[in-house]
Chains A and B, each alone.
Chain A
């Protein structure tokens, strides 16, 4: 009997996993024993971190978008169809087209989305670089800005010990903003204030979600004249008077509010009843080792949808995808999973426009901050503009 693997989501997690599965299961595919299907709500594949560069006019954006089909091996059947219902008891996912996609193994890789509407006034008064529409909007505002204040705010999910998307991004963009304004010759006329919420996973009253980095940030920010303030948990924005309010009872005015907004899982996950996260944020309860959805023996998940403490970023997915693919392959071949995710995250942080900092951590060890370098920035650029596509294709 032919085994069916269904992957929902054509982002980084879904694409890498589909290709890695096809590679690992090639003997079975050659024997016509396996069928791999992907459904996605878009025919396009978007490299999300590219939006950060669009915000500072360092990319126009088109170079980060490709046809999804061109990134998938021909052994993978691909359909543009938005998943609207997940029936784990009957083993099928319903598409918006009305098609029911049956599976023996399911991979939920639907990512997360900006949910600015969870903070009153943030949609109208704030800006963000986590998607291309937002990045293009804030880029125009930066171009017009001649003097005033850019306020950086960060919101975490209400569900405990879960990060916002790409933990390092607010630091990266604050430093990129400093370089961008310096390049334009107007840095002295613009005040940058970086704020951080009171609770950031296990860190209290800090400036970052891991203690070692939180401890070095003051000296880095001092050296580039960025002001910083902890325990400012954004809970309301007055878009007309341009004032940000915190849960702690403080208020800060701004000319541009560069926010890391709240995020939530995709609607199909939030509606599925599979998650018990606070405020229906939708994070899937995930076994931190096997990457199975808790309580479901044939459903795996990875990437931004999970409820794990590690970063919601490509550098995480790149280390999770082989665990998921190996485990599904092992289940098909031996009847049980064999691999375990150690929480490894590897990335190069863009610390300013021309400086890159390699970083790595796992469940046991936090990031140890190191000085950034020009060479590090080239490695990051190389990944953004080329190596990413090879990684998505399962070539790297």
Chain B
């Protein structure tokens, strides 16, 4: 049987106490404590090299996103602003150095994929 003790407290402290009491009474506090423990354990078990590797992967994904988004936007603008090329016109597009660089990149990309299959 718990003894009731009256303590002078601020309205804010009383609100916190009421909310905490609700969490205890409903049994939710157990799950929340477990969740906090899991979060704390994750921080404890994470090392600097692990963070570096994850961040590196995120950076790679962001780089792919940047290149792809830019290329799609550029291609759309060019397509919108120019007439559909004839067969010969398509070949003429390949005269452009940056187009050839992009094409070579795509072929090297397929080789890079092929090497992993």
- A377 CA / B65 CA spacing, docked (Å): 26
Kindly list 18 other residue pairs between chains A and B, CB separation below 8 angstroms, not including A26-B73, A385-B56, A387-B58: A70-B63, A74-B71, A354-B48, A374-B43, A377-B48, A378-B51, A381-B52, A381-B55, A382-B51, A382-B58, A385-B55, A386-B56, A386-B58, A387-B59, A390-B59, A393-B62, A393-B66, A395-B66
Instruction: Please give, as numbers and ranges, the residues of chain B lying within 8 Å of A354 by CB-CB distance.
Output: 48
- A387 CA / B54 CA spacing, docked (Å): 12
Name A residues whose Cβ lies closer than 8 Å to a Cβ of B. 26, 30, 70, 73-75, 354, 374-375, 377-378, 381-382, 385-387, 389-390, 393, 395
Instruction: Please give, as numbers and ranges, the residues of chain B lying within 8 Å of A70 by CB-CB distance.
Output: 63
- A387 CA / B52 CA spacing, docked (Å): 11
Known contacts A74-B74, A382-B55; A390/B62 CB under 8 A:
yes
Shortest CB-to-CB span from A253 to chain B, Å, is 35
- A75 CA / B55 CA spacing, docked (Å): 28
A385 partner, pick from B46, B52, B63, B74, beta carbons under 8 A: B52
Instruction: Please give, as numbers and ranges, the residues of chain B lying within 8 Å of A374 by CB-CB distance.
Output: 43
Instruction: Please give, as numbers and ranges, the residues of chain A lying within 8 Å of B52 by CB-CB distance.
Output: 381, 385
Q: Which residue of B lies closest to A354 (CB)?
A: B48
Asked if B92 CB lies within 8 Å of chain A CBs, one says no
| Residue interface bits B36-75, CB-to-A below 8 A is 1, else 0 | 0000000100101001100110110011011000110110
Shortest CB-to-CB span from B80 to chain A, Å, is 8
Q: Which residue of A lies closest to B66 (CB)?
A: A393
Contact check, B59 vs A386: say whether CB atoms are below 8 A apart: yes
Query: Is chain B's binding surface mostly helix, strand, loop or mixed?
Result: helix
- A393 CA / B61 CA spacing, docked (Å): 13
- A393 CA / B62 CA spacing, docked (Å): 10
Shortest CB-to-CB span from A283 to chain B, Å, is 33
Shortest CB-to-CB span from A189 to chain B, Å, is 26
22 residue pairs from A and B, CB less than 8 Å apart: A30-B77, A73-B70, A74-B70, A74-B74, A75-B74, A354-B48, A374-B43, A378-B48, A378-B51, A381-B51, A382-B55, A382-B58, A385-B52, A385-B56, A385-B59, A386-B58, A386-B59, A387-B55, A387-B59, A390-B66, A393-B62, A395-B65
Query: Is chain A's binding surface mostly helix, strand, loop or mixed?
Result: helix
Instruction: Please give, as numbers and ranges, the residues of chain B lying within 8 Å of A74 by CB-CB distance.
Output: 70-71, 74
- A382 CA / B71 CA spacing, docked (Å): 27
- A337 CA / B22 CA spacing, docked (Å): 53
- A26 CA / B70 CA spacing, docked (Å): 12
Instruction: Please give, as numbers and ranges, the residues of chain A lying within 8 Å of B77 by CB-CB distance.
Output: 30
- A138 CA / B77 CA spacing, docked (Å): 50
Q: Which residue of B lies closest to A375 (CB)?
A: B43
Instruction: Please give, as numbers and ranges, the residues of chain B lying within 8 Å of A390 by CB-CB distance.
Output: 59, 62, 66
| Residue interface bits B71-107, CB-to-A below 8 A is 1, else 0 | 1011001000000000000000000000000000000
Instruction: Please give, as numbers and ranges, the residues of chain A lying within 8 Å of B65 by CB-CB distance.
Output: 395
Contact check, A381 vs B48: say whether CB atoms are below 8 A apart: yes
- A387 CA / B58 CA spacing, docked (Å): 8
Instruction: Please give, as numbers and ranges, the residues of chain A lying within 8 Å of B71 by CB-CB distance.
Output: 74
- Which of A26, A377, A385 counts the most chain B CB atoms within 10 A? A385
Instruction: Please give, as numbers and ranges, the residues of chain A lying within 8 Å of B48 by CB-CB distance.
Output: 354, 377-378, 381
Instruction: Please give, as numbers and ranges, the residues of chain A lying within 8 Å of B51 by CB-CB distance.
Output: 378, 381-382
- A389 CA / B63 CA spacing, docked (Å): 8
Q: Which residue of A lies closest to B53 (CB)?
A: A385
Q: Which residue of B lies closest to A378 (CB)?
A: B51
Shortest CB-to-CB span from B45 to chain A, Å, is 11
Instruction: Please give, as numbers and ranges, the residues of chain B lying within 8 Å of A75 by CB-CB distance.
Output: 74
Top-10 shortest CB links A-B: A386-B59, A386-B55, A385-B55, A390-B62, A382-B55, A378-B51, A386-B58, A74-B74, A381-B51, A74-B70
